[in-house]
């Protein structure tokens, strides 16, 4: 049966209209993946041979074990944003005499071939060969390696469960994310060190072989909860009911209903963002945008000048908005003709996109207010960058978006996917990140950094005050180019 599953999925991919167009791109991406694997292999061998020299005063195996818990936490976060969950169009099989267990096991087993499951092996295997086997027996080395491997696979199946839960019950993922963030903060502020716990746990696998049952039990548990969750919803009536509930949830919002025609347009935009794989991938990456500051704010070297802090401020408060406004018309390429032929009020249509863009930036800014703990100057810079995003950048992005005429397939994830991207999408990087820095630099170099920050804020305020005038310019360009855009969007 598995042979037929693979055969059907291969034919489905090969007969797709996008097969030939994506073939060259996949070959190029495959080449880059090969380079990444080669670099990881060389880096893993060098690291494995020299790990004991990096920490000469510590036991190298125990030191490596102390970092494993951080790796698994970071790996889970990266997987959540980057790893695709394999799917199988199960509906055509449900009326056939095929056991649901075979369908579910096939779907879950496909996740084992993920790139994220193989990449850590280029580090773990050299450490096992050059470090663990040097200090311990061959049997202990194998037990340690298998224990780490089982935990990597547990992360894989945990990711599958979290992504499935996020689609049906986001609260579960939210609670899990808060717990993980809380644990990271406890360790960051030195309240509790998890590195010591990690070292004790993974070193115990070497000292006592019977402890290998722990990672096996964890892997089995995560696999079973995935199996039971998928099995509970693998019925035609369950799939139909779930889709109906998902469709009605946004339209029934009381506030949206009070906005009349504008509310209907907002509901359409929200449905587009929440129901398609490519747009949902961007939404999943929002926490990564918001947490970007944690990589730089604690380090004094990045706070010597405000130029780099302005770049971070634009990114964390406008990352989601930039992705939305940059492709705001391309997202609707599959039904852009319907918009033009159904007597849509283009002025309201554009206003809705502007409202959603500034709402995204506003929410992002309020979520980043806790960064004031690293300094009031950071809060000031983030606020100024927020004004720049909503007053200037949002309108500029919508204007440049009218020059994008490439059709976009929303059924595919955003990670490593450049389909539907044009030159205008890359040009936005200049006004988004470089323009505010260029505005600041003359003031910063002359010893008046707050003057530069003030000017950036004034630019944002001017954009907000005269936003109707600027949106009229965007509207004129949209009306001028709408048929050119529609023609480009029809090309599949």
Residue 416 — very low, low, confident or very high, per pLDDT cuts 50/70/90? very low
Please tell me the distance from the alpha carbon of residue 386 to that of residue 401, in angstroms, as a whole number.
Answer: 20
pTM: 0.56
User: Is 142 a residue whose pLDDT tops 90?
Assistant: yes
Whose CA is closest to 84, among 418, 412, 323?
412
What is the model's pLDDT at position 115?
A: 80
Task: Check if the beta carbon of residue 317 is closer than 8 Å to that of residue 385.
Answer: yes
Burial code of 315-348, b = ≥16 C-beta within 10 A, e = fewer? bbbbbbbbbbbbbbbbbbbbebeebeeeeeeeee
Please tell me the distance from the alpha carbon of residue 379 to that of residue 370, in angstroms, as a whole number.
Answer: 8
Q: How many CB atoms lie within 10 A of CB 395?
A: 24
What is the model's pLDDT at position 138?
A: 93
Please tell me the distance from the alpha carbon of residue 486 to that of residue 480, in angstroms, as a whole number.
Answer: 12
What is the model's pLDDT at position 215?
A: 92
For the chain, give the percent of residues with pLDDT over 70: 75
Q: Is residue 114 within a helix (H) or strand (E), and if so which, with residue range? A: none
Give the relative orientation of helices 346-367 and 306-326 as an angle to the nearest 10 degrees: 140
What is the model's pLDDT at position 111?
A: 82
Give the 3-state secondary structure of residue 90: coil
User: Is 432 a residue whose pLDDT tops 60?
Assistant: yes
Task: Check if the beta carbon of residue 256 is closer than 8 Å to that of residue 250.
Answer: yes
CA torsion sign for 410, 414, 420, 425 is positive
Burial group, residue 362, by CB count within 10 angstroms (0-12, 13-18, 19+): middle
User: Is 172 a residue whose pLDDT tops 80?
Assistant: no
What is the model's pLDDT at position 213?
A: 93
Give the 3-state secondary structure of residue 415: coil
For the chain, give the percent of residues with pLDDT over 90: 12
What the block records as the tokens of 113 is 């071939």
Residue 147 — very low, low, confident or very high, per pLDDT cuts 50/70/90? very high
What is the model's pLDDT at position 402?
A: 87
Angle CA 110–115–117, to nearest 5: 80
Compute the chain's Rg from CA coordinates.
26
The residue ranges of every structural domain in the chain are 23-241, 253-490
Sequential DSSP letters for 319-379: HHHHHHHHTTTGGGGGGHHHHHHTT--HHHHHHHHHHHHHHHHHHHHHHTGGGGGG-HHHH
User: Is 164 a residue whose pLDDT tops 60?
Assistant: yes
Q: Indicate the range of 32-41, 110-119, 374-383 predicted with least confidence.
A: 32-41
Average pLDDT over residues 265-291: 74
Give the 3-state secondary structure of residue 483: helix
Please tell me the distance from the alpha carbon of residue 38 to that of residue 41, in angstroms, as a whole number.
Answer: 5
Please tell me the distance from the alpha carbon of residue 8 to that of residue 88, in angstroms, as a whole number.
Answer: 10
Give the 3-state secondary structure of residue 103: helix
CA torsion sign for 89, 81, 283, 428 is negative
- Per-residue pLDDT tens for 317-348? 888 888 888 888 888 888 888 888 887 788 88
CA torsion sign for 429, 432, 438, 444 is negative
What average pLDDT does the structure give for the chain? Answer: 78
What is the model's pLDDT at position 145?
A: 94
- Per-residue pLDDT tens for 237-276? 444 444 444 444 555 555 555 666 777 777 777 787 777 7
- Per-residue pLDDT tens for 292-320? 777 777 777 666 678 888 888 888 888 88
Task: Check if the beta carbon of residue 262 is closer than 8 Å to that of residue 350.
Answer: no
User: Is 218 a residue whose pLDDT tops 50?
Assistant: yes
Please tell me the distance from the alpha carbon of residue 364 to that of residue 370, in angstroms, as a whole number.
Answer: 12
Q: Indicate the range of 78-82, 357-361, 459-463 predicted with least confidence.
A: 78-82
Q: How many CB atoms lie within 10 A of CB 242?
A: 13
Number of helices and strands (H, E) in the chain? 26, 0
Whose CA is closest to 337, among 166, 491, 128, 129?
491
- Per-residue pLDDT tens for 11-59? 766 666 555 555 665 666 677 677 777 877 888 888 888 888 888 888 8
What single DSSP character describes residue 85? P
Task: Check if the beta carbon of residue 161 is closer than 8 Å to that of residue 222.
Answer: yes
Q: Indicate the range of 374-388, 391-405, 418-432 predicted with least confidence.
A: 418-432
């Amino acid at each position: 049966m598995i042979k037929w599953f693979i055969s059907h999925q291969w034919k489905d991919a090969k007969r797709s209209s996008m097969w030939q167009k994506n073939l060259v791109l996949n070959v190029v991406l495959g080449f880059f993946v090969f380079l990444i694997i080669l670099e990881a292999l060389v880096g893993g061998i060098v690291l494995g041979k020299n790990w004991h020299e990096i920490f000469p005063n510590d036991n190298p195996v125990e030191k490596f074990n102390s970092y494993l818990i951080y790796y698994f936490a970071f790996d889970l976060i990266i997987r959540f944003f980057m790893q695709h969950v394999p799917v199988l169009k199960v509906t055509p099989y449900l009326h056939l005499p095929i056991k649901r267990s075979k369908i579910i096991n096939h779907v879950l087993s496909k996740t084992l071939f993920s790139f994220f499951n193989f990449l850590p092996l280029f580090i773990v295997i050299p450490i096992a060969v050059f470090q663990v086997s040097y200090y311990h027996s061959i049997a202990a080395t194998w037990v340690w390696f298998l224990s780490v491997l089982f935990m990597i696979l547990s992360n894989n199946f945990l990711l599958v469960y979290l992504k499935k839960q996020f689609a049906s019950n986001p609260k579960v993922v939210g609670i899990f994310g808060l717990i993980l963030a809380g644990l990271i903060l406890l360790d960051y502020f030195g309240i509790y060190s998890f590195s010591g716990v990690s070292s004790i746990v993974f070193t115990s696998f070497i000292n006592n072989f019977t402890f290998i049952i722990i990672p096996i039990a964890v892997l089995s548990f995560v696999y079973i909860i995935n199996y039971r969750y998928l099995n509970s919803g693998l019925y035609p009536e369950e799939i139909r009911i779930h889709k109906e509930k998902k469709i009605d949830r946004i339209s029934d919002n009381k506030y949206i209903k009070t906005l009349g025609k504008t509310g209907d347009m907002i509901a359409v935009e929200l449905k587009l963002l929440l129901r398609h794989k490519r747009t949902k991938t961007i939404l999943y990456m929002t926490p990564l945008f918001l947490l970007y500051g944690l990589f730089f704010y604690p380090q004094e070297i990045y706070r010597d000048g405000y130029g780099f802090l302005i770049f971070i401020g634009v990114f964390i408060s406008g990352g989601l908005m930039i992705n939305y406004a940059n492709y705001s018309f391309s997202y609707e390429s599959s039904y852009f003709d319907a918009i033009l032929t159904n007597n849509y009020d283009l002025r309201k249509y554009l206003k809705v996109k502007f409202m959603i863009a500034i709402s995204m930036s506003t929410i992002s800014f309020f979520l980043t207010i806790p960064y004031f703990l690293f300094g009031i100057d950071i809060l000031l810079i983030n606020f100024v960058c927020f004004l720049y995003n909503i007053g200037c950048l949002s309108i500029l992005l919508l204007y440049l978006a009218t020059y994008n005429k490439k059709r976009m397939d929303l059924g595919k994830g955003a990670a490593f996917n450049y389909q539907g991207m044009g030159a205008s999408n890359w040009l936005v990087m200049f006004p988004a990140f470089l323009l505010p820095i260029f505005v600041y630099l003359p003031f910063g170099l002359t010893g008046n950094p707050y003057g530069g920050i003030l000017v950036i804020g004034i630019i944002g305020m001017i954009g907000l005050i005269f936003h109707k005038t600027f949106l009229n310019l965007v509207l004129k360009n949209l009306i001028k180019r709408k048929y050119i855009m529609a023609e480009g969007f029809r090309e599949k």
